[in-house]
Amino acid sequence: MSLLPIINGVYVGEDKAKRVVNMDIKVRNRRGSRNIKPLGFSILVAVILVLCAPSALAAYPDSNGNTKYEWITNVNFSEINETTGKETDGYGNYTNISARVSRGVSYNLSVTIHPDAFACYITAWIDWNQDEDFNDTDEKFVVANGSYTGGPHTVSITVPNGSTTTTRMRVSLKEGSEPPSYGPIGYGEVEDYSVQVSDPEPPIPELPTVALFSIGLLLLVGYVLRKK
């Protein structure tokens, strides 16, 4: 954590951050007399700004493409089914759209694109450990590797048994070669989404065969008695 002298939002250095304020205070004694010499004193004023912890300021690395020839038209993953057009800056921020997934369960990620005459490569990343990058080996998923068709192109993703969290998914389309997870990618497009990871739903317990037989027998007896 760092402390910096700031005045009016501008760093001014330690010397200018200090100000001396002179004040005269008049007081009365217990008999109400005002014939007391004014007291002079100084107050040292320092204005500082407490900076946030680095983790609070960190962000995912930027990435963008050029959608002149190719772009992403649809991403489908769990609850996400987002149809999009080409972004003029080659990046689509759809982090307000979220997919809910459960640990240990597999889901299909499908990506449809508007292709061109060149081979297209599609890669997705999910930041499972929420360290705000896509560098871990289990976070990368190759969706298409040199395809000339629009798709949909599909890959199966199994959610690891880690901590439950809300994190980031990035989908990148690049012409000619595999896209990197950050930085300018050339011709293609990048889209970001959110993923909510939770515990799997507990299985519904099955009644044993004996219990089912007993319930059926009781219903049959009740039916016969009612007929009598």
- Beta strands 10-11 and 3-7: pairing type? antiparallel
Q: Return d(Cα 166, Cα 111) in angstroms, integer.
A: 21
Cis peptide before 179 (omega within 30 of 0): no
Of residues 168, 202, 195, 167, the one with CA closest to residue 101? 195
d(CA 168, CA 166): 7
Judge whether 98 and 55 are in contact, CB under 8 Å.
no
Tabulate helix, strand, coil % of the chain (nearest 5): 15, 50, 40
pTM given for the model: 0.66
Coil, helix or strand at residue 36: coil
CATH architecture of 61-198: Distorted Sandwich (2.70)
For residue 142, what are the β-bridge partners? Answer: 123
Q: Which amino acid is at 55?
A: S
The domain locations on the chain are 3-54, 61-198
CB 27 within 8 Å of CB 48: no
Instruction: Find out whether 129 and 103 touch, Cβ atoms under 8 Å.
Output: no
Coil, helix or strand at residue 226: helix
Structure tokens at 56: 């609070």
pLDDT in tens, the chain (228 residues): 444 444 444 444 444 444 444 445 455 555 555 555 554 544 443 333 334 433 333 489 999 999 999 999 999 999 999 999 999 999 999 999 999 999 999 999 999 999 998 999 999 999 999 999 999 999 999 999 999 999 999 999 999 998 778 999 999 999 999 999 999 999 999 999 999 999 876 666 665 655 555 666 667 656 666 666
